[in-house]
Amino acid sequence: MSNNNDKPVLAGLTFEEVKEVFSCYPLFRSLQIYKWLISGIESFDEMNNLPISLRKELTENYALYPGEVSSTQYDTDGTVKLGISMKDGTVIEAVALKDGKDRITACLSTQAGCPLGCVFCKTGMIGYKRNLTAAEISSQFLHLRRNEKEISHIVIMGMGEPLLNLDELRKAIDFFTDKKGLNISKRRITVSTCGIAEGILDLADNGPDIRLALSLATAREELRQRLMPAGRENPLPLLKEALVEYQKKMKRRITLEMVLLKGLNTGVSDAKAVRVFASGLDTVVNLIPWNAVEGPQFEGLPLCAPTQKEITNYAAALENEGLKVTMRIKKGRGILGACGQLGRTT
């Protein structure tokens, strides 16, 4: 549990944890409270099948969430972005995305800011403030659920590097997958990492058995380390070893995410390098044309999104190398809610 005005926070607890907190009450009360907690209610007063005296007790002694929604934005494509203010002044962002099949996916943050400094990411530009607690991660989903009740998938692709906050993320995933609660399949949860080899090995050894995506951008080592400074401590050979070990144990396909930058990482040589890196792995390459934000530069020059011809030619080059290629659906750009565009901290 996390603190909000020194009160224990209930959002994000599994049923077993709720049962322990309210062990002095009959079991059915714990179940009632838990069902309300996972529904995304805004206050204890909404728990209308509880006695007024119990609702008052909950209000006096517990906090529902570790923070509150401070802004809500809607894009014309159906995307919803929330700004969530924590008690220490930190503001994080979470997004609900709809695809063409009416599937709704929650994109959640694990850190306030990010310490890794990828040059193409707005969150990387604003720096790092702190890790989020499990309650702060879980509550993003619950706040989004008030707008979109039928969220079926979760991607841990918001602000921050998930594998640098793995203990709290594990607790949040326990909440999402609790069979007595939200009961979201681990197959519907994807964690995206910039490539923390130690964290990938930790996942391989200790789970959870979710889907894994690697933000690769380029498989040319020298260029990758310039675009993604974390690559200096996690060079591609080390990452490859970790991915091989992960796949050996988890038996899951790995997504290689490629943020495409005009004139930088979309040539035939880039495609050949990806094929070499992916050799021996079961992968799919997901192409993400860069979502523009104000400010990012690479070695003194502003970043630009690739042209459609550049994207098409690169996709063809990858396929010619025998790689399976998919294209990221463009969602949330109108409210700066797309991949790489999250970036509020105040």
Residue-by-residue pLDDT tens, the chain, 346 positions: 444 458 999 999 999 999 999 999 999 999 999 999 999 999 999 999 999 999 999 999 999 999 999 999 999 999 999 999 998 999 999 999 998 777 999 999 999 999 999 999 999 988 899 999 999 999 999 999 988 889 999 999 999 999 999 999 999 999 999 999 999 999 999 999 999 999 999 999 999 999 999 999 999 999 999 999 999 999 999 999 999 999 999 999 999 999 999 999 999 999 999 999 999 999 999 999 999 888 888 888 899 999 999 999 999 999 999 999 999 888 999 999 999 999 864 4
Enter the DSSP assignment of 11. T
Q: In what order do the strands lie in the sheet with 151-156?
A: 67-74, 80-86, 91-98, 104-107, 151-156, 189-193, 211-215, 254-260, 283-289, 325-327
Report the pLDDT value the prediction gives residue 346, as an integer from 0 to 100.
42
Nearest 5°: the CA angle 148, 154, 159 is: 100
CA distance 158 to 10: 23
Report the pLDDT value the prediction gives residue 329, as an integer from 0 to 100.
81
Active site residues: 93, 339
Beta strands in 221-337 (DSSP E): 254-260, 283-289, 297-298, 301-302, 325-327
Which among 208, 211, 124 is positioned nearest to 167, based on CA atoms?
208
CA 17, 19, 23, 25 torsion-angle sign: positive
Enter the DSSP assignment of 27. H
b/e per residue 127-136 (b: at least 16 CB within 10 A) = ebbebbbbbb
| Contact partners, residue 321, CB within 8 Å, separation at least 6 | 271, 272, 274, 275
For the chain, first and last CA: distance in Å?
24
Residues facing residue 7 across a β-bridge = 4
Q: Number of helices (H) and strands (E), helices first, in the chain?
A: 11, 16
Report the pLDDT value the prediction gives residue 240, as an integer from 0 to 100.
98
Enter the DSSP assignment of 9. B
- Tell the residue number behind the tokens 């809500």, with chain if given: 72
Report the pLDDT value the prediction gives residue 335, as an integer from 0 to 100.
93
Q: Where are the domains of the chain?
A: 3-61, 67-335
Report the pLDDT value the prediction gives residue 3, as an integer from 0 to 100.
43
* pTM for this prediction: 0.94
Give, in words, the CATH class of 3-61. Answer: mainly alpha
Is-cis flag, bond preceding 306, omega within 30? no
- In one-letter notation, the amino acid at residue 175 is F
Enter the DSSP assignment of 339. T
Report the pLDDT value the prediction gives residue 294, as an integer from 0 to 100.
85
Residue 271 tokens, joined: 């495609």
Q: Is the domain covering 67-335 a CATH 3.20.20.70 domain?
A: yes
